[in-house]
Structure 1
Amino acid sequence: MKKIYLTLISLFIICVGAGILYLTVYRQAKMELPRDITMETAWGDEYRFSEMKPKVRLLEFIYTNCPDICPNTTFQMKKVRDKLENQHVFGNKVEFITITIDPKRDTAEKLQAYAKTFGVDKGDQGWIFLRGSEDDTKKLADTFNFQYRDPGNGMIIHTTSTYLLDENNHVIKQFGMGEKGFRQQDVYEAIMNKIK
């Protein structure tokens, strides 16, 4: 009887370990920006994922009507950007990408206003605010297992993850969102470690 319990416990531990390995390593290694998507910047310029130069990238999904976690995360990213600018790596080695998951409501004007709130203007290099078709947005979000849905009131329920990508646009690390989930120092150190 003890052998059966030990065997069952061992199988359980192996299954849990395999599940954790799949979720943290294998699935994350498969996450990358699809090259066949073209989006539009907040200022109306075309942005082709197939023409991206090799850089370390920090990617977030937001919607401009979000009352809390989206703007808080973008604010935290602004602080990380300031540190990276002090190291003279922002723009030339590191790029931030913010993508709206609500392209129907988030017009170019709304996305511009959102970007300007965090000190990003049209001519600024290194931080791109994007909107695309609903289909392309969904395809992109699905690539990162980023889930979202609108219950009908415009307050979108969504996953709370941001993604650090290497120069080949593969996810190498995930961070949370908001003040507690997105730890500036951890993100900054992960970026600096990657570009050294």
Structure 2
Amino acid sequence: MPGMETGFTCVRPPRAILVLDLLMQVSPWTWIAAVFFVQTAAALGVARMLRLPASEIALPIAILMAGTFVALAFRRMDRGGSVGLWKWWVPPAAYALFIFLLSNRSFSGTEISFNVNWFHPAEYLTLGLLTSWAWYPFFLKRGNVAFASAVLLSGAVFGLFDELHQSLVPGRTMSITDLWLDLTGLTVGFLFFALLRSLNRFHAASCSPR
């Protein structure tokens, strides 16, 4: 505050880094709610573009909408950190359910004029980001290698399960290519989370005692 000595000298970072760093000060739950909101809007847009029947997409989209409201509820409930670590597993579990519900549908009769394989890395990037948030509290003191291994291994196991599940759905098939795209998305999601954490540490390190 003006007129008060803080006892700290702050190194002013470049403007671009400063803007990103300010964004990092926003509650994680606000970001998670934003992720689910954007995914909801994107899913509705794709469904409208492909003219998918409402009965095919109602439940998956309802899961995404619920994820938005649950994240906002946790932001309000968890201001003092009173909710246990299990809270961080709710978003990735909800998003995994969204992916599972989409995989459970063949969307037969739908004419698609573009390569739907691009949905795989987009979906698993989001899953990788949310899973990173869930695993992070358990690996604060165990190093980045163990942290990355937990995120990628758990995501890969789910991706393999999802592909096996698709092989049982009429009109769907298992694809190794899709699995590789899933792993690519998971990796990018983890790296994005790691970047956010690095920016947060940069902010903490930019202020040092006089």
TM-score normalized by the length of structure 2 = 0.26
Instruction: Provide TM-score, normalisation by structure 1.
Output: 0.27
Greater helix share, structure number: 2
Instruction: Pick the structure with greater CA Rg.
Output: 2
